[in-house]
Structure 1
């Protein structure tokens, strides 16, 4: 997969469902408690829906009660890019896949130990590869 594909809208329109496209490429969000993985606790690795980059592992997933898959750290800090998000009159930190730029969700500072972080991720942005 070349980086130029990641900048080609037709690539994304073919690869993703309309809902995945809205979330991953247009920075949308899914309604809480509706995504495929909000209540999934099988062992495995969560890959980027756009490029299959390993983003999170099941051993860092926890139930935050927010209705979205939540993790206290990425599989590797280098796979996530953080961006200041001031949309909707809020100050939040957006997280995107560093490899393909897909919108994943946001990170908050109200998570559990050991990091104190809560990566609140859209199910439409990830794909669970079960062990």
Structure 2
């Protein structure tokens, strides 16, 4: 049995399912202001899931304090959970992170993270749901 939510096909369905801020960030590619999201300074053990489809994206054990004001992780739960694409918006070249399952905008990936990957997945809290788990 698949306990993941179905993936809406239309924006109107996403708007019914998400808060206005979640919709703006996850479905329209927005960014929340630094140091404002509910998970940037969150330290409870558990799993961070896609706010849109429930896909497992990041574990608390891979989260680190980057000083950026957004939740930061050095790797996703599985390489297949997060896809990356080049983003040339705002006159910059960046690597955008998206949920592979539902194509939600998560944030961006930068090459200034800690070992062992050297990556910093800089993710918007509005794109995440948290599931507490003391075993993680």
Same fold, TM-score > 0.5, yes or no: yes
Displaced runs of 4+ in structure 1, greater than 6 A?
none
Match for residue 25 of structure 2?
Answer: 23
Match for residue 118 of structure 2?
Answer: 116
CA contact (8 A) 2:6 2:53 kept: no
Structure 1 gaps, min length 5 = none
**What SS does the corresponding residue of 2:14 show, helix, strand or coil?**
helix
Match for residue 81 of structure 1?
Answer: 83
- TM-score (structure 2 length as normaliser): 0.93
Q: Give the Cα separation in 1 of the matches to 2:14 and 2:64.
A: 30
Match for residue 95 of structure 1?
Answer: 97
Match for residue 58 of structure 1?
Answer: 60
C-alpha deviation, 1:8, in angstroms: 1.3
What's the Cα RMSD here?
0.8
Q: Give the Cα separation in 1 of the matches to 2:70 and 2:12.
A: 28
Higher helix share: 1
